[in-house]
Amino acid sequence: MPITVDIDVMLARRKMSVGELSERVGITPANLAVLKNGRAKAVRFATLSALCEALDCQPGDLLRWEPDATPPDAPVEPAGRAAER
């Protein structure tokens, strides 16, 4: 996935544990782990805002985009019928 989550980096910079962050944000440690490990499919803006407040950072400090490893000249498969039109 091209979005990388850097919560670990901010936790280390702030010398904060996952448990402390989950308490401050108001989410379970398990849900924070899903987000932290990049397994989440989505994040609510309210959660992102609470993370930024607790870690005193900007959203860009927690999330970054990295291009896919697909070579630029690789053929792209059409995605469904809309691509056939």
Residue the block writes with tokens 């792209």: 76
Instruction: Give the per-residue pLDDT at 79.
Output: 64
pTM reported for the whole predicted model: 0.77
Express each pLDDT in 9-56 by its tens digit. Answer: 999 999 999 999 999 999 999 999 999 999 999 999 999 999 999 999
In order, the DSSP letters of the chain are: --EEE-HHHHHHHHT--HHHHHHHHTS-HHHHHHHHTT--S---HHHHHHHHHHHT--HHHHEEE---SS-TTS-----SGGGG-
54 part of a folded domain: yes
Express each pLDDT in 61-76 by its tens digit. Answer: 999 998 886 666 666 6
Give the CA-trace dihedral at 69, 72, 73, 76, to 10 degrees.
Answer: 70
37 part of a folded domain: yes
Q: For residue 35, what is the domain's CATH number?
A: 1.10.260.40
Residue 47's domain spans which residues?
Answer: 3-60
